[in-house]
Amino acid sequence: MIKRVEVNYRGIFQKNLGKYIGGDIVQIASRMGKVAFSNGRYSDAPERNGIPCKYFAFVSPDLSEEELEAECGAKLDIDEADVSVVVDDTMVKGVEPWGWHGVRAINEKVREKGCLLVVSQHTHDNLLQFIPRLPFSWRLASVEGPASLAGLWVYKDDLTRERVLGAIAAVDPGIIAIEAVEAYLLERTTDKHRAEAARASYDATLRNIRVVKAGEGAEWHHEIPRLPTWKEFEDGGVVVPAVPRGFKMGPRGQTRNDAFKRGTTKSHRPVIRFDLCIKCTLCWYDCPDECFDPTDDGLYDVNYEVCVGCHKCAEVCPVPECIVMVDELKFNSDASPWEHHKKDAQGYIKWAEEKKGLDRIHYPHVTGTGMEIREGKYVPPKPEKGGAAAGAKA
Amino acid sequence: MATVAEKTNVWEKEVLLNGCQAVAQGVKLANVDVIAAYPIRPYTEVMDALSKLIADGEFDSEYIVADSEHSQFEIVKHASSVGARAFGGSSGTGWMYGFEALVVTATDRLPPLFVVGNRALDDPGAFGVEHNDALALRDMGWLLCWASTAQEALEHVLIGYRIAEDSRILMPMALAMDGAFLTHSQHMLKVPTQEAVNRFLPSFDLGKRVLHPDNPVSIAPQVNEDWVMELRRQNWEAARRARTIIPEVYKSFNDIFGPRYDNPFFDEFLCEDAEVVLVGLGAVKMPAQTAVRRMREQGKKVGYVNLRWFRPFPHEQLRATLGRMKGVGVIDRNFAIGSPDNGGIVVQDIRSALYPLAKRPVVTDFIGGLGGRDMSIADCVRMLEITLDAANGKQGDELVTWIGLRE
């Protein structure tokens, strides 16, 4: 018997988290006398910020290491998953890791009675708005909390790792048992709080597993691209046809590469108040992915299909509240916001402010600087205790 | 790898390591003096792991980040010439970029060890495994072997230095390992104790050739037609000697660490009574052996030969094992475009090795797994079936089959 776990994570920001969870499963399972190993979907590894990636762990109570490796190790992707972990819930909208791969459903690999385990602050109903239906019954569980996002060389030690391990033990004790998780964490870290976090997450997850019936869930409209045979493309066909030059004014006016849109890379999207825009061009100019389409009224529409949520536009926009990054899961459409604004400016402003909300903390994970809004008001950063100057003297 | 016999005093506790980290542990245990590094996937994680060991204070070594693979390999070569145990590594086109330095390391008869995380040769850009990078060394006076597991990779850093630095050999050593499937897979591995490693691996002594102020010598002067043939012949002779010294080294390894390797040059899996075998290099061993086991359950007399050493090529031993077979299927995870019968690289050497036999097995070739495409158990079953058919006269013996190609 083989138990398969996949960890869907955001490239760079959760690189270490994904790898650590995979490695932890191997070490815990082997403490339990099982054979296990872990690897990543290697094509994901030249990671870029936010790209959806996968890490795997395979556990067997009865196979030899060689057989387990033969079944699971020589493959690029997992056949099916007993547990698909998602460490950033915005990936439930679909994942497109690289070109010619298509946008894939987050539960594509979840097997019958298997579990999709999502780190999320959203309700199961909310998540199911985005997750496509399957022809069989499966389970949805969550670890309550925000996505743990860090940098390339950084691992954010916020107990997400321990809590995910506890939750995996809850949804499928055949992979790892909670007692083994606790023993492992205690031995590895000698920190009982880590074991307690895993146990608390285990208990909370057990209380809240949603059985999703066959056919329950969202419509899915992304097709998996068919790759041509060796006779079907041009001899020496490493030359990919260029995207035609030029653009038209207006929404979706720029020509783009359809083989790789990258929109599933974002965990936040820029919400734009067109009425506040001073037409300074900075968002359009600085966007690394050229997501802003100039419109004939001097504004800049944003194309959410290709926006990767890098926060750059929100950082360079000189007008407070004009471009604000908002949790991607609050949206279920990639339609043009400029068209919405054009049709109904007041309605759009109300809608945009609702999405932004009155309470938010905005810390772009690239720069680490940001701002806090409480009850709709900007909260200036508190001076550090002792002050920076005192620290410098010491 | 042979069955793991436990000699508890020579192994530390099991630890979680991927293939790259396993190599780094081997480098640490070999107490390497100089490491030169330049990143390219999948090799990069080897240098990452080494720099971490050094930064964490677990390992003391001179660690130099070069400006390119060419400089990196030159640094390794020069370090070796002053008598330092030196380590480098690379992958794919990075490896090819440093090739001039690799070639002269062999002709200078210096014995550093390099790891090659096998990677496809760009263009187009590809990260996955393909064996052409390491195989490009095959005529250049290098020792060249493949690890098929991360555990083997760790052990072959130690075995590799011992062989390369043997005063009767003094050739550079390339340890190849499949990118992704081996380099980036995390397993629980046994790490040998330093004490046991010290018993196995003596310190490096370059003898009279060492470049040192107390020993003024000139290395690699211009010699032209007066000397080159004689030097080549010495190199050739060293590779010949290596064929007898390699088994000595494995015997010594087995004596210390338990009987881990039955046959230094290749592993035979269910070959004794086999009529048809596949031969492959690297990580394809796992699905291939599982395929063999499944076909055995159906009464098919099949086996698998995991070819570990490619240079020196173990032609005599392979002749003895493969010569008994009705059919041999060679798995080439490489391309040799325009070669005889349009096959891969490995099949050419196997065919040559078998040619002197009066009764030869039918040899078929498979090209697969290029650019990192997976080779599954089902693929291996198919290769065995095609080889069985060929052995039974249902196919010609010039057959080359592409496995996993979109047709």
DSSP B78-119: HHHHTT--EEEEE-HHHHHHTHHHHHHHHHTT---EEEEEE-
Q: How far apart are CA A10 and CA A90, in angstroms?
A: 10
Chain B from 116 to 145: CB within 8 A of any A CB: 123-124, 127-128
Residue A134's SS3 state is: coil
pLDDT at position A359 is 80
Give how far B376 is from chain A: nearest CA, Å.
Answer: 6
CB contact at 8 A, B305 and B325: no
**pLDDT greater than 50 at residue A393:** no
Which residue on chain A is closest to B181 by alpha carbon? A74
pLDDT 10s digit of each residue in chain B, 407 long? 444 445 568 999 899 999 999 999 999 999 999 999 999 999 999 999 999 999 999 999 999 999 999 999 999 999 999 999 999 999 999 999 999 999 999 999 999 999 999 999 988 888 899 999 999 999 999 999 999 999 999 999 999 999 999 999 999 999 999 999 999 999 999 999 999 999 999 999 999 999 999 999 999 889 889 999 999 999 999 999 999 999 999 999 999 999 999 999 999 999 999 999 999 999 999 999 999 999 999 999 999 999 999 999 999 999 999 999 999 999 999 999 999 989 999 999 999 999 999 999 999 999 999 999 999 999 999 999 999 999 998 876 558 999 999 99
Q: Does domain B266-403 have CATH number 3.40.50.920?
A: yes
Which residue on chain A is closest to B189 by alpha carbon? A37
Within 8 A of A230 by CB-CB distance, chain B residues are: 405-407
- For chain A, say whether B377 makes contact (Cβ under 8 Å): yes
- For chain A, say whether B292 makes contact (Cβ under 8 Å): no
CB contact under 8 A, B41 and A45: yes
ipTM of this predicted complex? 0.92
**Residue whose token pair is 């945009």:** A352
Q: Do domains B8-257 and B266-403 have the same CATH topology?
A: yes
Beta bridge partners of B175: B115, B145
Residue A199's SS3 state is: helix
CB contact under 8 A, B124 and A238: yes
**pLDDT greater than 80 at residue A387:** no
CB contact under 8 A, B287 and A70: yes
User: Which of B14, B372, B407 is closest, CB to CB, to A230?
Assistant: B407
Nearest CA among A273, A278, A267, A276 for reference residue A304: A267
Q: Does domain B8-257 have CATH number 3.40.50.970?
A: yes
What are B31's two structure tokens? 């107490």
CB contact under 8 A, B184 and A230: no
CB contact under 8 A, A75 and B374: yes
pLDDT at position A364 is 52
**Model confidence over A73-121: pLDDT tens digits?**
878 899 999 999 999 999 999 999 988 899 999 999 999 999 999 999 9
What are A100's two structure tokens? 């010619």
- For chain B, say whether A27 makes contact (Cβ under 8 Å): yes
**Model confidence over A255-297: pLDDT tens digits?**
888 888 999 999 999 999 999 999 999 999 999 999 999 999 9
Give how far A202 is from chain B: nearest CA, Å.
Answer: 24
Q: How far apart are CA B200 and CA B350, in angstroms?
A: 32
pTM: 0.93
pLDDT at position A390 is 40
- For chain A, say whether B319 makes contact (Cβ under 8 Å): no
- For chain B, say whether A75 makes contact (Cβ under 8 Å): yes
Domain residues of chain B, as ranges? 8-257, 266-403
User: Which of A30, A42, A74 is closest, CB to CB, to B184?
Assistant: A42
User: Which residues, at least 6 apart from B233, have a Cβ–Cβ distance to it below 8 Å?
Assistant: none
- Residues composing chain A: 394
Domains (range + CATH), chain A: 3-212 (3.40.920.10), 263-379 (3.30.70.20)
- For chain A, say whether B92 makes contact (Cβ under 8 Å): no
- For chain A, say whether B297 makes contact (Cβ under 8 Å): no
Chain B from 172 to 211: CB within 8 A of any A CB: 179-181, 184-188
pLDDT grade for A237, boundaries at 50, 70 and 90: low
